[in-house]
Amino acid sequence: MNSSHPFTGLMAGLRPNRLVIAGLIGLFIGLAGLSAQAEEVELAKAEKDCLACHDKEGVKKTLQNGEVLSMRISTKAYVESMHKENSCEDCHADLDAKTHGKVKSDIKSKRDFTVSQGDVCKECHKKKYAQYDDSVHAALIKEGSKKAPLCSDCHNPHTVQSVKLVQPIEATPCVKCHEPIFKAYSKDVHGLERVAKGKSAPLCSDCHQAHDVKAASLGEGVKDTCIGCHKEALAQHADWLPNTGRHFAAISCPACHAPNAQRRVNLRLFDGATNAQISEKSGVPQFARLANDADAKGMGLDERALWSLLKEFSQEGADNKTVLRGRLEVRSGVEAHQLSEKSKALKDCNVCHKEGASPFQSVTLTIAGPDGRPLRHGVQTAVLSSLTSMDSVRGFYAIGSTRIKLLDILLVLVVAGAVCVPLGHMTIKRLFKGVRERLEAERLAAQHAAAAGAPQPDETAPK
Ligand code: HEC
Ligand code: HEC
Ligand code: HEC
Ligand code: HEC
Ligand code: HEC
Ligand code: HEC
Ligand code: HEC
Ligand code: HEC
Ligand code: HEC
């Protein structure tokens, strides 16, 4: 954004007098060097000792696991960093001046050392720390992950520059651990726009946050963030997509905007009363065990297994309030970052609204794990069209993709209706209301039947 630095402009303008300028610049640099030295001397009062040993070529330490940790801190980079006002001791208060550098310290591995310094930033950056502490990354660290990031994985404390500077997209710290996603992103509509036009298009942290990173498919996912920038999205889709709100609630944006992606239905467990996504009861991982028990052959959960799992995860005291929320999404993280320009987006109703539609041929059940990330188990596709489970899969069926023929006919009406709006509109709404009411009645009947024949809790209890 500051590409037109006044100095660069000056240089370009004065090219003919190159020699004179070069001389002037030499003088200028000389003076700047003097003042930088003056600054260094000031810095050195506290830091000189440390840097005398640590800004030497080749200072390093072999750790217990054989890794070599470079001990070199560049004075130049430090003086230019955002932490130049800080003393080394602000962050390295735990060093013992008497023995330091003379007695070898025990450090197992690079990772161990990083983790041991993990709380250093807390005092001065309380707000960022609190946000980070609530993230999926921090949850992973607490679980003992060796791969999730700490502050210093994303910000080198000795060289950190202002994050407000425009950077090449490759400089975003997310790249080093999410490389396949970065590669996809850099070629998608936002990555290309970001490179061409700068900050108006989102980089990773604009959609996921930098510190308060949450599992991407949790709750509403990043939908609201998309709409935050694309404020007209709802209205623009309403021009051609009936019941836009419902479609937006039931389909993740990339499911239509990554045109070549494979799609699937994700059934997510929600507490019907509080509307919160249900997560693994902390400490006692049981989802994987229950799901594996119920699906010994690995064919995917059938209706009955799904039903008893639902019961198992119902909150204490609540009267089977657990519901499933269906959501159509892409199958992989990479595909979620292959968004294309609008002309390539999925507009063909038939891709979803026809019998045997491909997005409905892959179904998973998810629950939020202790770190907020989804735990998955496969579900048999027949579950989607069965009425008994319709109870729990409330409000999620794509017309035409199910066995319910009446709905297929309605779709034809809807497509026709889209041509002759607004007359068709009210009628369609009313028709759907009728169908919904009928389904609701059948659902209640089915629920009663199921409740009567359902396994008792102790029959399904773990052995
Ligand atoms: C006399 C040279 C010397 C000075 C002065 C010195 N260090 Fe070190 N420092 C070392 C050596 C040598 C090691 C590696 C020790 C080892 O092998 O265990 C080290 C290791 C470290 C480490 C790695 C962690 C650890 O405990 O081994 C940090 C951090 C560190 N120094 C920071 C500082 C800071 C901050 C200062 C100034 C307050 C400082 N050092 C001053 C020589 C020095
Ligand atoms: C803003 C906090 C902060 C300041 C200021 C700071 N350090 Fe560090 N330093 C850290 C952290 C955090 C680590 C651990 C980084 C990691 O994970 O490798 C570290 C690591 C080191 C290491 C081990 C080598 C490495 O890069 O991991 C040395 C040596 C060191 N610091 C020296 C210094 C010296 C000398 C100064 C002052 C000129 C200084 N530090 C100032 C936070 C700081
Ligand atoms: C997963 C990578 C990542 C981790 C971990 C991370 N940050 Fe950041 N941080 C970023 C990115 C990217 C930005 C710039 C974009 C932004 O602020 O949204 C940033 C910005 C910042 C800023 C400047 C904010 C501003 O608006 O001026 C501070 C300060 C900061 N981080 C401190 C921390 C501290 C302290 C921690 C640890 C508690 C931490 N960060 C952990 C990626 C990370
Ligand atoms: C002793 C206080 C102190 C500690 C400890 C500290 N910082 Fe800072 N940090 C500062 C100050 C002061 C600034 C510059 C002022 C500002 O925020 O604009 C700064 C700036 C930053 C920035 C750049 C913010 C921007 O505006 O772009 C980042 C990123 C950052 N710190 C990360 C860290 C990380 C990571 C750690 C832990 C390894 C850490 N800091 C530890 C005081 C501290
Ligand atoms: C335009 C917004 C946007 C940007 C920019 C973006 N993402 Fe995503 N990201 C998403 C969406 C949407 C999903 C899928 C969420 C869902 O299932 O609904 C996702 C999913 C993810 C996931 C989870 C993948 C999985 O396996 O479930 C990760 C990790 C991720 N993104 C990292 C990144 C990284 C790293 C970058 C930068 C290179 C980035 N994202 C840039 C929107 C974005
Ligand atoms: C030091 C490595 C590291 C860095 C740097 C890092 N991540 Fe992660 N991240 C992980 C690991 C490990 C996981 C858990 C495994 C997974 O889901 O890929 C994770 C998980 C995630 C998830 C949740 C995935 C899900 O299931 O929905 C998101 C979103 C995410 N990261 C985004 C980011 C963003 C945005 C950045 C940069 C601001 C970033 N990560 C930087 C290692 C890292
Ligand atoms: C059912 C598929 C579908 C879903 C779901 C969907 N879109 Fe679209 N979107 C499209 C199609 C098709 C177009 C191109 C419409 C046209 O032909 O003008 C489009 C156009 C757009 C445009 C360009 C609008 C314009 O007219 O310039 C944006 C921005 C957009 N979508 C964002 C989103 C966001 C954000 C979401 C999620 C909240 C989303 N879309 C969900 C299919 C979808
Ligand atoms: C930080 C703002 C921002 C966020 C967040 C954001 N976008 Fe965008 N998006 C842009 C910009 C800028 C462009 C390129 C200019 C344009 O076409 O509007 C763009 C382009 C698009 C296009 C292509 C539109 C066309 O005309 O071809 C689609 C589709 C799109 N975004 C969908 C999404 C989806 C889906 C999300 C969330 C996963 C999202 N955007 C999040 C800013 C954003
Ligand atoms: C990416 C798949 C997908 C595409 C493309 C799609 N739909 Fe849908 N549609 C769904 C799903 C899933 C639902 C179920 C939503 C729910 O019940 O929450 C749905 C629901 C509906 C409903 C019923 C809404 C209600 O109130 O129950 C109508 C009508 C509809 N779609 C018409 C269309 C038309 C017309 C098009 C093409 C212009 C279209 N859809 C394109 C997936 C899709």
**How many helices (DSSP H) and strands (DSSP E) are in the chain?**
21, 6
In this structure, the answer to whether residues 149 and 252 fall within a common structural domain is no
261/242 Cα distance (integer angstroms):
23
CA torsion 127→130→131→135, rounded to 10°?
A: 160
Residue 1: its H or E element:
none
Helices (H), 231-380: 233-238, 244-250, 253-257, 287-294, 303-312
Across residues 24-44, what is the average pLDDT?
Answer: 44
Kindly state the tokens that stand for 238. Answer: 């309403």
- Portion of the chain with pLDDT greater than 90, in percent: 46
Across residues 86-91, what is the average pLDDT?
Answer: 93
**Most ligand 8 atoms within 8 A of CB, residue of 230, 256, 339 to mutate:** 230
126 CA distance to ligand 4 middle (Å): 10
205/174 Cα distance (integer angstroms):
8
401/379 Cα distance (integer angstroms):
16
In this structure, the answer to whether residues 307 and 403 fall within a common structural domain is yes
- Residue 326: pLDDT above 70? yes
**CA-proximal residue: ligand 9, atom 17 (nearest):** 396
Determine, yes or no, domain membership for 245.
Answer: yes
In this structure, the answer to whether residues 158 and 299 fall within a common structural domain is no
Kindly state the tokens that stand for 127. Answer: 């707000």
- Residue 153: pLDDT above 90? yes
Across residues 62-84, what is the average pLDDT?
Answer: 94
Residue 30 CA to its chain's centroid (Å): 48
Q: Is 257's C-beta closer than 6 angstroms to any atom of ligand 7?
A: yes
Determine, yes or no, domain membership for 197.
Answer: no
- Residue 407: pLDDT above 80? no
In this structure, the answer to whether residues 158 and 273 fall within a common structural domain is no
In this structure, the answer to whether residues 255 and 359 fall within a common structural domain is yes
Q: What local confidence, expressed as pLDDT, does residue 97 receive?
A: 84
Q: What local confidence, expressed as pLDDT, does residue 386 receive?
A: 66
Q: Is 125's C-beta closer than 6 angstroms to any atom of ligand 3?
A: yes
Site of tokens 């297994």: 305
Most confidently modeled range among 274-278, 304-308, 338-342: 338-342
Instruction: Count Cβ neighbours within 10 Å for each residue of 294-316 and write b for 16 or more, e otherwise.
Output: bbeeeebbbbbbbbbbbebbbbe
152 CA distance to ligand 3 middle (Å): 10
Q: What local confidence, expressed as pLDDT, does residue 14 receive?
A: 34
- Residue 224: pLDDT above 70? yes
Across residues 298-313, what is the average pLDDT?
Answer: 85
The bridge status of strand 363-368 relative to strand 374-379 is antiparallel
Most confidently modeled range among 210-214, 368-372, 403-407: 210-214
Across residues 299-305, what is the average pLDDT?
Answer: 89
- Residue 359: pLDDT above 60? yes
Kindly state the tokens that stand for 196. Answer: 């061409």
The count of structural domains within the chain is: 2
190 CA distance to ligand 8 middle (Å): 6
- Residue 452: pLDDT above 70? no
Q: Which of 115, 130, 162 is the last residue of a domain?
A: 162
Q: What local confidence, expressed as pLDDT, does residue 451 receive?
A: 56
**Nearest CA to 459 among 304, 240, 324?**
304
Q: Where are the beta strands (DSSP E) in 25-162?
A: 60-62, 68-70
β-bridge mates for residue 269, sequence order: 324
Q: What local confidence, expressed as pLDDT, does residue 60 receive?
A: 93
In this structure, the answer to whether residues 123 and 252 fall within a common structural domain is no
Q: Which of 109, 129, 162 is the last residue of a domain?
A: 162
Output DSSP code: residue 455.
P
The bridge status of strand 263-271 relative to strand 363-368 is parallel
In this structure, the answer to whether residues 121 and 251 fall within a common structural domain is no
Most confidently modeled range among 28-32, 207-211, 325-329: 207-211
Residue 397: pLDDT band with limits 50, 70, 90: low
In this structure, the answer to whether residues 245 and 128 fall within a common structural domain is no
Across residues 169-176, what is the average pLDDT?
Answer: 93
User: Which pLDDT tens digit goes with each residue over 90-140?
Assistant: 999 988 888 998 898 899 999 999 999 999 999 999 999 999 999 999 999
Q: What local confidence, expressed as pLDDT, does residue 101 receive?
A: 86
Residue 449: pLDDT band with limits 50, 70, 90: low
In this structure, the answer to whether residues 158 and 245 fall within a common structural domain is no
Determine, yes or no, domain membership for 145.
Answer: yes
Q: Do 45 and 39 contact (CB within 8 A), yes or no?
A: no
Q: What local confidence, expressed as pLDDT, does residue 381 receive?
A: 86
Determine, yes or no, domain membership for 388.
Answer: yes
Determine, yes or no, domain membership for 168.
Answer: no
188/183 Cα distance (integer angstroms):
9
142/133 Cα distance (integer angstroms):
10
Average model confidence (pLDDT) for the chain? 78
- Residue 51: pLDDT above 70? yes
389: containing domain: 240-460
User: Which pLDDT tens digit goes with each residue over 385-394?
Assistant: 664 445 555 5
Determine, yes or no, domain membership for 352.
Answer: yes
**Most ligand 5 atoms within 8 A of CB, residue of 206, 222, 330, 335 to mutate:** 222
In this structure, the answer to whether residues 55 and 146 fall within a common structural domain is yes
Q: Which of 110, 134, 162 is the last residue of a domain?
A: 162
- Residue 283: pLDDT above 80? no
Secondary structure class of 240 (helix, strand, coil): coil
In this structure, the answer to whether residues 309 and 427 fall within a common structural domain is yes
322/318 Cα distance (integer angstroms):
9
Residue 162: pLDDT band with limits 50, 70, 90: confident
Measured in Å, how far apart are the chain's first and last C-alpha atoms?
63
Residue 410: its H or E element:
helix 405-419
In this structure, the answer to whether residues 261 and 383 fall within a common structural domain is yes
Across residues 196-207, what is the average pLDDT?
Answer: 92
251 CA distance to ligand 9 middle (Å): 9
